[in-house]
């Protein structure tokens, strides 16, 4: 059999090659086009200032307004092919608008502008995608957080700890019951001591103003995790973030707060933070548990409309966000006073039939009996998604405060 003659090899220059992608530059693996807009709630807002966007591969940021850019695909952020152009996950770039928060105490919602919140929410949104894709993060590798809770906590303490661990850091726990507080050590001394071992302190205390007072004696950043009936800034941030994630915007919404509005630090901080948006606030509370006058005065000074109702049913039809809270037994002087207020407002599936189909039910938790367990299966029940969002917001806040 005669062997088949070999075919001549065509010149190398004649081999067809794939044309360059219009989204890439020749010789560069970075993408040229800016991130697409993911969600826009205010079409009339000025366009995003692209000069504020970080380099390719770092977390995207946005300008003012109630919208944020779509994060780059995780494959682009973390794939081996993109490592040359991307900023490593251990060196997260902080938006210029958040630089003023680096190394600072986080004590009150009044510290945040609307633009800063928008950037922080964008970071939280991107970190959520990375966590959900099971990407490992070493942003805070080698950093230590001290968790100091003088009041009991489930969600706040656990979400802060989980946030630190997911960012590659570690946590030192301080328990009042087993600490030198039992020997008479002052809060100031305990905080200064823990600052020797940690890079950031998360502090909760039952006395209003105690966290701010302790922060004056601390050389490391202190984050307020709740000070009695005072403020709870990180809860308010995650609440606004949840409203944006669930409904796409905060502007134009009617938000109804129900329950113990007198003692609820969550509603105090949330009401203050919401004044940066165009919203309407409605209050439903038992007698003697109304929103404090100083909070109402602050909200009114910002031009926000406030309304009071006697029942959930009366306020519900026009409500976009129903924010339920428990009656806080630990804040009452006697059992009789607590029992007089307990159980007046309970959300049930029957009451939910009067609500909008796209309404959102939120609750800072824990709940006692103010939301029936049967409501949990309603897709409008967002309180467990809200609790999860707390971890992402606290991840973004820890990364920002520690300058990573």
Q: Which residues are catalytic?
A: 155-156, 183, 204, 232
Residue partners of 147: CB distance under 8 A and separation at least 6: 157, 160, 161, 171, 172, 173, 174, 202
The secondary structure of 24-64, three-state, reads ECCCCCCECCCCCEEEECCCCCCCCCHHHCCCCCCCCCCCC
> Which tokens is 282 given?
């409605």
Directed axis angle between helix 265-274 and helix 293-301, to 10°? 10
Outline where 167-232 has alpha helix (H).
187-194, 210-215
Segment holding 124, helix H or strand E: helix 114-132
Torsion sign across C-alpha atoms 386, 388, 393, 394? positive
Identify the bridge partners of residue 282 per DSSP, sorted by sequence position.
Answer: 256, 307
| Residue position matching structure tokens 């599936």 | 349
């Amino acid at each position: 059999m005669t062997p088949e003659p070999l075919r001549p090899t065509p010149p190398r220059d004649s081999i067809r090659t794939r044309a360059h992608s219009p989204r890439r530059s020749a010789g560069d693996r970075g993408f040229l086009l800016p991130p697409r807009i993911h969600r826009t709630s205010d079409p009339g807002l000025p366009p995003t200032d692209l000069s504020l966007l970080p380099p390719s591969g770092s977390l995207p940021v946005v300008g003012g307004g109630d919208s944020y850019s779509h994060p780059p695909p995780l494959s682009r952020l973390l794939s081996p092919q993109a490592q040359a152009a991307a900023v490593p996950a251990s060196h997260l770039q902080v938006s210029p608008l958040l630089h003023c928060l680096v190394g600072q105490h986080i004590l009150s919602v009044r510290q945040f502008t609307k633009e800063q919140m928008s950037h922080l929410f964008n970071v939280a949104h991107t970190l959520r995608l990375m966590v959900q894709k099971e990407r490992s993060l070493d942003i805070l590798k080698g950093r230590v957080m001290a968790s100091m809770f003088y009041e009991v906590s489930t969600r706040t303490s656990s979400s802060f700890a989980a946030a630190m661990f997911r960012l590659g850091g570690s946590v030192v726990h301080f328990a009042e019951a087993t600490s030198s507080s039992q020997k008479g050590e002052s809060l100031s001394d305990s905080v200064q001591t823990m600052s020797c071992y940690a890079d950031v302190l998360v502090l909760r205390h039952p006395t209003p103003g105690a966290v701010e007072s302790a922060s004056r004696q601390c050389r490391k950043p202190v984050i307020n995790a709740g000070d009695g009936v005072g403020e709870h800034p990180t809860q308010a941030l995650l609440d606004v973030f949840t409203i944006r994630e669930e409904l796409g915007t905060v502007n134009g919404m009617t938000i109804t707060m129900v329950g113990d509005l007198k003692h609820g630090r969550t509603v105090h901080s949330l009401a203050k933070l919401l004044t940066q948006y165009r919203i309407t606030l409605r209050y439903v509370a038992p007698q003697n548990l109304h929103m404090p006058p100083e909070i109402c005065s602050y909200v009114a000074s910002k031009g926000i409309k406030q309304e009071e109702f006697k029942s959930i049913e009366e306020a519900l039809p026009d409500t976009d966000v129903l924010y339920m809270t428990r009656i806080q037994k630990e804040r009452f002087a006697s059992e009789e006073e607590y029992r007089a207020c307990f159980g007046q407002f309970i959300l049930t599936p029957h009451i939910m039939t009067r609500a909008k189909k796209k309404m959102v039910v939120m609750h800072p938790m824990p709940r006692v009996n103010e939301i029936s367990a049967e409501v949990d299966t309603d897709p409008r029940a967002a309180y467990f998604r809200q609790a999860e969002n707390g971890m992402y917001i606290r991840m973004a806040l820890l990364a920002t405060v520690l300058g990573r």
